[in-house]
Amino acid sequence: MFLKNMSRENKTLNLREGAFPIKMNLIFNETSLKDIGQLKDSITGDIEISLISKDLFRFEGTVRAIFIDQCQSCLKDIQVGLNFSSNLAIKDETLMMEDNSNQDQTHYQNLEYFNIKQLIEEEISLSYPNIVKCEEECMENRPNTGKEKNLPFKKIRDLID
Ligand SMILES: [Zn+2]
């Protein structure tokens, strides 16, 4: 189990020891995220983890990635580019149930075997657009919608006449 965690893609950190802040430039060449597009090239992150108190850490970082996805309207292949900043509290997963602080921006994980990729992937799935379209008006641009749009006006004219 630990050997698997030590692989390059799933590197874990022990946040219970070591010097802070931890600054890293991360590159992930694959992702296990489902229901999003296909990763093009890699996910890159510029991140920093700082120690706030014994059980509280802070994550700050910028994440960039490009995915190949399909327009939900015309099914064309399109690129979805993500480039976002995150600022989260990190707490041990054992505190999740008893945490009454109501902080919505908190990431819970085992602090001794902290998997940074898991945090990055959660942030990517939160940032990924729910609606993927090649352009804002792709739906409206479809050939037969123009006709339907005119129908209500015709009805109103009929009523006036
Ligand atoms: Zn489209």
Each domain of the chain, given as residue ranges in start order, spans 2-142
Q: Which of 146, 137, 120, 133 is nearest to 33 (CA)?
A: 120
pLDDT tens digits for range 59-74: 999 999 999 999 999 9
Q: What is the torsional sign of CA 141, 142, 147, 152?
A: negative
pTM of the model: 0.77
C-alpha of residue 141 to centroid of ligand 1, in Å: 9
Bridge partners of 133, per DSSP, are none
Residue in the block written with tokens 């995150």? 86
76: number of Cβ within 10 Å:
12
- Is residue 7's pLDDT more than 60? no
* Mean of per-residue pLDDT scores for the chain: 84
Grade residue 139 by pLDDT with cuts at 50, 70 and 90. low
Q: What's the rounded mean pLDDT across residues 127-146?
A: 75
- Percent of the chain scoring above 70 in pLDDT: 78
Give every CB contact of residue 105 below 8 A, 6+ residues apart in sequence: 87, 88, 89
C-alpha of residue 137 to centroid of ligand 1, in Å: 8
C-alpha of residue 80 to centroid of ligand 1, in Å: 13
DSSP state letter for 8: G
Residue in the block written with tokens 């700050």? 60
Give the separation between CA 80 and CA 145, rounded to whole angstroms: 26
Grade residue 123 by pLDDT with cuts at 50, 70 and 90. very high
Give the separation between CA 45 and CA 85, rounded to whole angstroms: 10
93 vs 148, which has greater pLDDT?
A: 93
147 vs 33, which has greater pLDDT?
A: 33
128, 82 Cβ separation under 8 angstroms: yes
3-state secondary structure of 154: helix
Enumerate helices (H) and strands (E) in the chain, giving the number of each: 3, 7
- Is residue 137's pLDDT more than 80? no
Grade residue 101 by pLDDT with cuts at 50, 70 and 90. confident
Residues with CB under 5 A from ligand 1 (ion): 71, 73-74, 134, 138
C-alpha of residue 37 to centroid of ligand 1, in Å: 15
